[in-house]
Structure 1
C-alpha cells in the first residue's frame, strides 16, 4: 500500500497466492494466517493483544504493508489488525503499527525477489532471528512453554490446550526436535494475498447525470402515492446507506479501502465518530484515518459458527498522523467498529476499542 494522501482510495482484493509470497521477507499485505511480523523488537505480548472484552487471545484479520514515501524511518511499515473469534464474544479488535528504516538488522537492503525460492518446503517458522518464540497456534509472541517437552511454545493456556488436543499430546513424548509441521487448529482465518488497485473515480458531472436519469426513470414508473410515501420515510440513514452502495458498486469485491487522510465511507448514519471520539496518539499527535475494512471480507473469513460469529459493517482504522517512532516496537492504534443500522454492536452503543 502506498500513502495515498488526499487522492483516490486504493482498493484491496483477496486473492489466492502461493505460500512463499506471504512470507515476511516478501513484505506481504494479506488476510488471515499467522502474522508475518515486520520488526522483531517490542512484539505485542499476550496482554497487549488480549481481547478487551473476554481476555482471550485474538486471531489476525489482516495485515497491510504501508510504507510512507519520504520517511526514512518508515521505509518499511506494517499495520496488523486482530480480532477475537471466540464465541460468544467475537468482538475485541486491536490494531498495531510497526516501522523500520531501509537499513536494518532483519531484511535485505534490496527489494525481495519476485520469483519463488528454490526450496519448496512450507514449514511454519516459529522462531524469529532474534530468538523470540512464536505460538504454535496463532503465531504471536509465546512466553509460555510446554512443561513436559519444553519445546512447544504458546501465547496462552487456551492455545496450549488447543494444541494439546490437536496432536501435541502424542508428539510431546517423542524425542528429538519438535516438528515444524503444525496441525490445523481451526483457529486462524483463511489466508489470502491482498492485491491493490487504485479506485477509478467517475467525474461528478457524470455521476449527477446518471443519478438524475435513474431518478427520472424511477419516478416515471412509480405511482404517485408510493412516491409520496417514499418521500415521507426517506431518512439520513437511507441516504448514507445508498451512498455506500453506490460507492462500492463499481468494485463490489473490494475488501478494504486505503487512503491515509482521506474520508472513510460509512455504511450507516449511526455511530459515525466525531473528531473528539478519536483519541490522540500517546506522542500527542492526532490520529487520522488510514484504511477501512469492508463487510465483503467476511465472505472470505468463513467465520460463521453456531451462535455468534465475527461480524461488522465497517472497521475504520485511525493511526498517528506523525507515524511516530514510539521506540522500536509496535504502537497500538485505534479501531472504530460500525455495524449495519439495526444490528447491535458488542454492547449497546459501544463502538470504541482500545488504542491508547
Structure 2
C-alpha cells in the first residue's frame, strides 16, 4: 500500500473503472481495449465461444456482450495479453434474486508472440488504412451480424451475412435485412443494431485512493460480515435484529467506500476481496467451483450497480438488475492455447430494505 504525493491519501490496491467516450478504432481488438457494450473485441481470433456456450441457462436465449477487461498478468508469458469477457441475458424475468444463470464469463490469453498481433505495442493514433470489417475476423472466422459473436448460420437468400443463431437472424431480418437482402447494400452499424446492443464506452482505470485515517482502506482486509447462528439460546427476534444490524453494517460500508468515487462501474483487485452490498449470499471457498484444470478460482474484479445507469435498460415493470457481480478466475490463469476458457460469476443482489 503506497501513499500519494500529498501524504493525505493512500492507495488501496484496488483499481477503479470508469466510462469514457472513445473513437471506434480505439476499441478494436488490435488496441487491446477494456470496454462496455457494442460488439466484443475478440483477443484470440480462433475458437470463439459457441452459440451453445453463450445461451442463458434460464430462458435458453442467447446472451449479449456486456463488457470486457484487458488484464494481462505481469511476468507470466502465456498471459502477456489477457482479456476477460462478460455476457448477460437481456430478458428481465431472468434476473431473479442472487441467481447467476443469466451470465457468462470467458477468458482469453495469448503470449506476446502470437498468430494475431504484432510483437510491439499498437500505435496511439488511428491506423492509416482501417480494415474494419465487422463481420469477419483477420483469421477468417465469420461473426454474427447482430451481436458480433461467432456466426455459423448464413442467410440462405443472399449468402452475404452470417448469424450466431436463428433468434438473432430473425431479429435482424425484421429490423433491416428483409429490406436489403436482395440488394448489395449492407450497413453494419446503423441505429437498429445499436438499439439491440448495449451502448459502447471505453473502460478507463485509475488506482483507488482513500484518506489515510480511513480504517477500511484495504480490500484484502475488509471484514466479510456473516450472521452467526451458533448461539442457539438467542430468541428468534434477537436473531432477526442481529441479522438486520449486520446487513445494514455491510451496506453502509459499501456506500462509504464508493462515496469518494460514485461513478465507478468496476473494481479490479486480483487475489483481493469483493466489496459486498449485503451480508447475505456471500460465497465461501466451496461455493466457487474450481477451474477445469483443477486449480481453484480467485476473485479478480467486480461489476458495480452504477453500470446499470449506462445500459439504457430500465422499464416501468421489470429490468436487468444486480447489486454486484463478482468475477472469479483460474488462480493459475491456465494455458488453454487459443481457446476461450469458461470462468465463474457470483451475483449478489441488494436486500429488500436496501437502495443505492
TM-score bracket for this pair, using the shorter chain length: 0.7 to 0.9
| Offset of residue 285 of structure 1 | 0.3
Q: 1:134 to 1:182 in 2, by over 3 A?
A: farther
| Contact 1:124 1:182 (8 Å CA) reproduced | no
- Return the TM-score normalized by structure 1: 0.83
Q: Which residue in 2 is equivalent to 1:15?
A: 20
3-state SS in 2 of match to 1:17: coil
In structure 2, the residue corresponding to 1:337 is in which secondary structure?
A: strand
Please give the alpha-carbon distance, in whole angstroms, between the structure 1 residues aligned to 2:45 and 2:299.
26
Per-residue deviation, 1:60: 1.1
Is residue 158 of structure 1 aligned with residue 167 of structure 2? Answer: yes
Q: How far apart are the structure 2 equivalents of 1:236 and 1:306?
A: 32
User: Greater CA deviation, 285-294 or 50-59?
Assistant: 50-59
For residues 353 and 94 of structure 2, what CA distance do their matches in structure 1 show? Answer: 15
Which residue matches 2:231? none
Of 37, 42, 63, 2:42 maps to 37
> C-alpha deviations, 1:59-91, integer Å up to 9, x for none?
111100000000111100000000001343356
Q: Is 1:330 matched up with 2:347?
A: no
Counterpart-to-counterpart distance in 2, 1:113 and 1:284: 39
Alignment of 1:28-107 (within 5 A): 28-89=33-94, 92-107=102-117
Return the match for 1:207 from 191, 209, 214.
214
1:188 aligns with 2:193: no
| Equivalent residue runs for 1:140-179 within 5 Å | 140-174=149-183, 176=184, 178-179=186-187
SS of the residue aligned with 1:296? helix
| Aligned counterpart in structure 2 of residue 293 of structure 1, from 303, 306, 318 | 303
Question: Taking structure 1 as reference, are residues 335 and 181 closer, same or farther at Cα in structure 2, changes over 3 Å only?
Answer: closer
Work out whether residues 12 and 208 of structure 2, in 8 Å CA contact, stay in contact via their aligned partners in 1.
no
| 1:244 pairs with 2:249 | no
CA contact (8 A) 2:146 2:168 kept: yes
Structure 1 residue aligned with 2:350? 340
Question: Is 1:317 aligned with 2:327?
Answer: yes
CA 1:133/1:77 → structure 2, altered by over 3 Å: closer, same or farther? same
Question: Structure 1 residues 180, 234: closer, same or farther in 2, change over 3 A?
Answer: closer
Shift of 1:99: 0.2
Question: Taking structure 1 as reference, are residues 165 and 320 closer, same or farther at Cα in structure 2, changes over 3 Å only?
Answer: same
Task: Provide closer, same or farther for how the CA distance between residues 92 and 103 of structure 1 changes in structure 2, counting only shifts above 3 A.
Answer: same
Secondary structure of the residue aligned to 2:177 is helix
For residues 179-204 of structure 1, give each alpha carbon's deviation from its aligned partner in whole angstroms, at most 9, with x where no partner exists. 5455533211001001100011333x
Instruction: State the number of aligned residues.
Output: 314
Tell me the equivalent position of 1:226: none
Query: Could you tell me which of 259, 263, 284 is aligned with 2:269?
Result: 259
CA deviation vs aligned residue, 1:81-106 (integer Å, no higher than 9, x gap): 00001343356000000000111111
Q: Distance in 2 between matches of 1:107 and 1:86?
A: 36
Q: Note the alpha carbon deviations across 1:4-28, whole angstroms, 9 max, x for none.
A: xx96100000111111111111100
Instruction: Please report how far the alpha carbon of residue 295 of structure 1 lies from its aligned counterpart in structure 2 after TM superposition.
Output: 0.4
How far 1:307 sits from its partner (Å)?
A: 3.1
TM-score normalized by the length of structure 2: 0.83
Cα distance between partner residues in 2 of 1:169 and 1:234:
56
**1:213 alignment counterpart:** none
Question: What are structure 2's unaligned runs of at least 5 residues?
Answer: 1-10, 96-100, 217-240
User: Which ranges of structure 1 fall in alignment gaps of 5 or more residues?
Assistant: 1-5, 210-230, 345-356
How many angstroms does 1:343 deviate by? 8.0
- What corresponds to 1:134 in structure 2? 143
Q: CA deviation at 1:158?
A: 1.1
